[in-house]
Amino acid sequence: MGYDFTQQYIDGAWVDSTSGAFIDVENPATLERFAKVPQGSKEDIDLAVAAARRALPQWSQVPLSERVEMMKSMLAHFKASESTVVDLLVKELGAPIAFARTKHFGFQSVRVQSYIDLVQTIEFEQKFAHSTVYREPIGVIACVTPWNYPIGQVVQKIVPAVLTGNTVVLKPSQHTPLSVYLMIEAFEKAGFPKGVVNLVSGKGSELGDYLTTHPGVDMLSFTGSTRVGKLLAQSALGSLKRISLELGGKSPFVWLPGIEDYRPAVRKLFESIFMNTGQTCTALSRLIVPRSELAAVEAVLKEEAARYTVGPTFDESTMIGPLSSRAQFEKVKSYIELGLREGARLILGEVPANSDQGYYVKPCIFTDVTNDMRIAQEEIFGPVLCVIAYDTVDEAVAIANDTIYGLSAAVWAPCKNEAKRIARQIRAGNVYVNDGPRDVSAPFGGMKESGLGREAGVAGLLEFTEYQAIFDDVA
Ligand code: NAD
C-alpha cells in the first residue's frame, strides 16, 4: 500500500503523537494487523484545539465563495485518491470491494457536492424591521465519529462545519482510522489554512471525554452509539457546549396488506439490513408483516436472501463481508443465541461457529418475533432481521413506534399515497415510502433516543451556526 499513518495532522503539519504509542489496525477478513496509527494523547488534543482556536478568527471571515472554491478543490483531490481509499476501506472495515467503491467512496462525493451547492443558497444575513440577523459559525467543533462508515460520518461533520466558517478537531474511530487520512490529505492539498482541520487518532475511552469537555471546544458533533452519545453529551453540557448527536436505531419496515409483487419490497429491505453486513445505523432490522401473509413473505425472504453472497472482501461479486471486529462478532453471535433462547425461530442463518477465518456471520432471519423481545428492541448491528406479525394496520404502526429509537423507517404499500399516510404516523427522522430513493439534500437524523439535531442538507449546514441579532435600525 505504501502509505504512512504514523503521524497526526495538527496545525497544518503531519506530526508525531506525544504519546509515542500506536494502535494496530486489523483486517477483519484476514485477522492480519496490517497498519498502525498513533495512540493520540491529551497533549495532542490540547495542541489540536489550540490550533483550531488560533485559526478560527481568520477562517470565519474568509468569504463563502473562497471557502466553496477550496472545498471543490478538496473534493477533486479526494476523488483522485479513489483506488487507495477503496483499498483501505476494504482492509480496515472488511467492506466488500464493490460496496466500498459505490457507497463508502462514490456516495461521499455526492454528499460533499450537495453541501457545496446548498451552502450557496443560505441567507447568512437577514434584514428585519429593526435588526440584522446573522448566522455565525459556532467556533471550534469536536467531531467524534464511529467505524461503520469511516468516510461518510466524517464528511457529514467536517465538510458542513468548515464551509460555514468553523474549525474542527476530528477524532475518528480507532477501529477504522486509515481512509480518513486521505480525506485530511485532500484538505491539505486544497490549501485550507493551517489549523482549520485537525486530526487526532486515538481511543474514544481515553480521549473522547477530554476532547468534548475541553474549554477550547464550542460544540460536540458526535456520531456513535446511544450509550456513548448520552455520556459525552452530559459531559459537554457542563459548559453548555452546542451538541449534535447521531445515534443508534432499530428501524421498522412496515409491510402493508395486499402488495402484489413481493420482490421489490424484499430487495429494498435487504439492501438496508444486509449491506455493510448490517452495520448501518438506519438498518431496517424489524420487518412488520400482516399475519395473513406471513408464510408467503417468509418464503420470498428465503428465496431472495440467496442472492446475498458472503465471501472474500476483494472479490467483486461479494455482497456481504465480515463484521468489522472481534467485538462485533461476539456481540452479533450473542444476539443470535439470545434470539433462539427468547423463542424466535431462525428461518435463515445460524449461530456462527468461530472467527478463526475472519469475523464472518451469515445473514440471519428470525421469525415468530414479538416486539417485546430483546432482539426486537436492542440494536444488534449485524445482518440479523426480526420478522414480527400484526393483525391490524393500527397495530403495525404501534409496533413500529414501540422503540426508544426513531432514526429511520420504511413503509411499503400497494398504493404509494397510503404508504405516505402511514409514514407520517411513524416517529422517525427519515421514512422511505415504497421504492423512494435517499435524498442527500434532505435533513438526516433521529427522533427520540436516536439523536439530537440533523446532518445533511441546509439543516445539516445550519447545525454548525448560531444566530446573532444586531439591533441596528432606529424606527
Ligand atoms: P461508539 O459509540 O462505540 O463509538 C463512537 C465514537 O465514540 C468512536 O470514535 C469511539 O472511539 C468514541 N468512544 C467510544 N467510547 C467512548 C467513551 N467511553 N468516551 C468517549 N468516546 C468514546 O459507536 P461505534 O461502535 O463506533 O459505532 C456504532 C454505533 O454508531 C451504532 O450504535 C450506530 O447506530 C451508530 N451510528 C449512528 C449513525 C447516525 O447517523 N445516526 C451513523 C453511524 C453509526
**Nearest ligand 1 atom to alpha carbon 174:** 11
Residue 473 pLDDT greater than 80, yes or no: no
pLDDT over threshold 60, residue 2:
no
How many Å lie between the centroid of ligand 1 and the Cα of residue 248?
9
Taking the domains of the chain in order of start, what are their residue ranges?
8-247+450-470, 251-439
* Cβ < 6 A, ligand 1 pocket: 144-149, 153, 171, 173-174, 204-205, 208-209, 223-225, 228, 231-232, 246-249, 281, 379, 381, 407, 446, 451
* Nearest atom within ligand 1 for CA of residue 381: 31
8-247+450-470 is classed CATH 3.40.605.10:
yes
Q: How confident is the model at residue 57 (pLDDT cuts 50, 70, 90)?
A: very high
CA-451 nearest atom, ligand 1: 41
Q: State the DSSP string of 25-75.
A: EE-TTT--EEEEEE---HHHHHHHHHHHHHHHHHHTTS-HHHHHHHHHHHH
Is 341 buried (19+), middle (13-18) or exposed (0-12) by CB count in 10 A?
A: exposed
Q: Are 361 and 332 in contact (CB under 8 A)?
A: yes
- Residues forming the active site: 246, 281
Residue type, 288: I
Compute the distance between CA of residue 125 and CA of residue 467 in angstroms, rounded to an integer.
10
The Cα–Cα gap between 475 and 465 comes to: 28
- Ligand 1 atom 32 nearest Cα: 225
Residue nearest to atom 30 of ligand 1 (CA): 224
Predicted local confidence at residue 474, as pLDDT: 57
pLDDT in tens, 105-140: 999 999 999 999 999 999 999 999 999 999 999 999
229 alpha carbon – ligand 1 mean position (Å): 7
The per-residue pLDDT of the chain, averaged, comes to 97
The topology under which CATH files domain 251-439 is: Aldehyde Dehydrogenase; Chain A, domain 2 (3.40.309)
Burial 394-412 (b: 16+ CB within 10 A, else e): eebbebbbebebbbbbbbb
Which of 225, 231, 324 to mutate for ligand 1's pocket (most ligand atoms within 8 Å of CB)? 225
Q: Which three cell numbers stand for residue 186?
A: 485532500
- Per DSSP (E only), the strands in 177-229 are 197-199, 219-223
Condensed to tens digits (0 to 9), the pLDDT of residues 353-375 reads 988 899 999 999 999 999 999 99
User: How high is the pLDDT of residue 475?
Assistant: 55
What is the C-alpha separation between 269 and 251, in angstroms, rounded? 11
Please list the residues that pair with 35 across neighbouring strands: 25
How confident is the model over 25-40, as pLDDT tens digits? 999 999 999 999 999 9
Nearest CA to ligand 1 atom 35: 224
CA of 147, closest atom in ligand 1? 26
Q: Rounded to the nearest whole angstrom, what is the distance from the C-alpha of residue 224 to the centroid of ligand 1?
A: 2
Is 310's pLDDT higher than 60?
A: yes
- Report residue 181 as a C-alpha cell: 487520512
Distance CA 120, CA 131 (A): 23
Which cell numbers in the block locate residue 436?
Answer: 423512494
Distance from residue 228's CA to the centre of ligand 1 (Å): 7
Report whether 361 contacts 376 (CB < 8 A).
no
**Protein residue closest via CA to atom 40 of ligand 1:** 246
Atom of ligand 1 nearest to the CA of 145: 9
| pLDDT surpassing 50 at residue 1 | no
Q: What is the pLDDT of residues 243-301, one digit of tens each?
A: 999 999 999 999 999 999 999 999 999 999 999 999 999 999 999 999 999 999 999 99
Q: Residue 181 Cα, ligand 1 centroid: separation in angstroms?
A: 19
**Residue of 149, 173, 444 with the most ligand 1 atoms within 8 Å of its CB, for mutation:** 173
Closest ligand 1 atom to Cα of 249? 34
Q: How far is the CA of 270 from the centre of ligand 1 (A)?
A: 23
Of all protein residues, whose CA lies closest to atom 10 belonging to ligand 1?
204
Ligand 1 midpoint to CA 131 (Å)? 41
